[in-house]
Amino acid sequence: MRITEITEARRDTFNNFVAWFPWGDLLQSWEWGELKAKSGWQPIRLLAEDDSGEVCAAASILKKPLPVFKHKCIFYIPRGFVMDTIDRDAVLEFTAGIKKLARKHGAILVKIDPPIEISDSVSLANLQAAGFREVVSDGFGGTQPKCVMQLMLTDKNNKERSLEDIFGSFKEKWRYNIRLAERRGVKAKTECTKDDLPVFYELLKETCERDGFLVRGYEYFSNMWDLLYPKGYLKMFLTYYEDTPVSGSLCYLWGDKAMYTYGASSNQFRKHMPNHLMQWEMIKWAHESNCRIYDFRGVSPKKEGEDKLSGLNRFKEGFSPEFVEYIGEYDLVVDGFFYGLWVKLLPRARQLMKKAAVSK
């Protein structure tokens, strides 16, 4: 295996490998690294090639200095790294290359949260053999959601399902609500431009205030649009009732996967079910884009009792997706002393880093 830190010249090679890998995520794209660079992260991209010259592994690493010890940093590989994790020797070799680079940069840890399903015991054992240790977290599951819901747009033979079949699989009440929104005059805008972004952002602020979540600054979404939309990786949807915006969303398109990532809704006119119609429009778009998966993204882990995300789970479940649980966060310790300090100071350090990110 030949591991190389690559430059802009190999952007397309990197993106093509990640996009069409079975679980390759947009958070591992070249452009996502560019977006995070605008909020204090330094992207580093690695490609690995086998003896025949074929790409066999990729990692978009995000580097960030620690809040106090500026000569030290963390390495974070969001939704990566990307490779066949069933191949133990390859995992060990690629991890060794990442760890060598981490030491060079003064990283105390390498954090990963790959979308590897928890049922994949072989991949998990290989990562653990390479030195990764589990990071226990609650709720959403860490930096990225540990649990998601995915609607399959192809059947078990990878044949495209019809829209009629997909619509028919929704719960009866959800089909009724989609038709209800249409009868009551809710209109979907599916060809949005950047001029519509302030409309979406106002809805997002309203949503976050209602649900008690932090909201990133407008500049973050403006940068996201500028970096992802021209490449065809981002699409916005809005719904209106009597010319009033009532819901909106941002979706990613990456390879054969569509990802519902940001959703927002007004406190007004909720009884007209705009969110049901908006989801159906996004699913139709994913289907038209020849996607294999429509990913509803984060949900709460299935467990007894209620939490503040249980309503979100119930809403997404109505579209009959599959519940998918990933292995979660794992850390590769590079500097034991500073990692010990990091763990002890983790809540405060993460709070500072998150606050800095949200403010941008």
pLDDT in tens, 250-262: 999 999 999 999 9
Q: How far is CA 4 from CA 60, 63, 73, 189, 202, in A?
A: 12, 17, 21, 44, 43
First to last CA, the chain: 39
Instruction: Give me the mean pLDDT over the 224-238 stretch.
Output: 98
CB atoms closer than 10 angstroms to residue 63: 19
Percent of the chain at pLDDT above 70?
Answer: 92
Q: Domain 2-144+326-358, CATH 3.40.50.2300 — does that match?
A: no
Instruction: Give me the mean pLDDT over the 124-150 stretch.
Output: 84
Q: Rounded distance, CA 88 to CA 106, Å? A: 26
The CATH H-level superfamily of 148-325 is Gcn5-related N-acetyltransferase (GNAT) (3.40.630.30)
Q: Rounded distance, CA 95 to CA 333, Å? A: 12
Lowest mean pLDDT among 50-59, 67-76, 176-185, 318-327: 67-76
Angle between helices 30-37 and 11-20 (to 10 degrees): 110
Q: Return the beta strands (E) in the chain as ranges.
A: 2-5, 42-49, 55-65, 73-77, 82-83, 107-112, 132-134, 147-152, 187-189, 234-241, 244-254, 257-265, 293-299, 322-325, 330-333
More confident residue, 73 or 348: 73
Band the pLDDT of 141: cuts 50, 70, 90. very low
* pLDDT value of position 132: 98
Across all residues in the chain, what is the average pLDDT?
92
Instruction: Give me the mean pLDDT over the 222-236 stretch.
Output: 98
- Tell me if 2-144+326-358 shares its fold with 148-325: yes
- Asked if pLDDT for residue 139 goes beyond 70, the answer is no
Domain boundaries, the chain: 2-144+326-358, 148-325
- Render the burial of 90-100: b for 16+ CB within 10 Å, e for the rest: bbbbbbebbbe
Name the burial class of residue 102, with classes exposed (0-12), middle (13-18) and buried (19+) by CB atoms within 10 angstroms of its CB.
Answer: buried
- Asked if pLDDT for residue 126 goes beyond 70, the answer is yes
- Render the burial of 204-230: b for 16+ CB within 10 Å, e for the rest: bebbeeeeeeebbeeebbebbbebbbe
**What is the DSSP pairing of strand 73-77 with strand 107-112?**
parallel
CB atoms closer than 10 angstroms to residue 68: 11
Q: Rounded distance, CA 320 to CA 149, Å? A: 9
Instruction: Give me the mean pLDDT over the 24-52 stretch.
Output: 96
Whole-prediction pTM:
0.91
Cβ–Cβ under 8 Å, residues 7 and 47:
no
Nearest CA-CA partner of 236 in 201, 266, 205, 209: 201
Nearest CA-CA partner of 192 in 231, 156, 225: 225
Q: Is the peptide bond preceding residue 69 cis, with omega within 30 degrees of 0?
A: no
What is the chain's Cα-based Rg?
Answer: 21
SS3 state of residue 295: strand
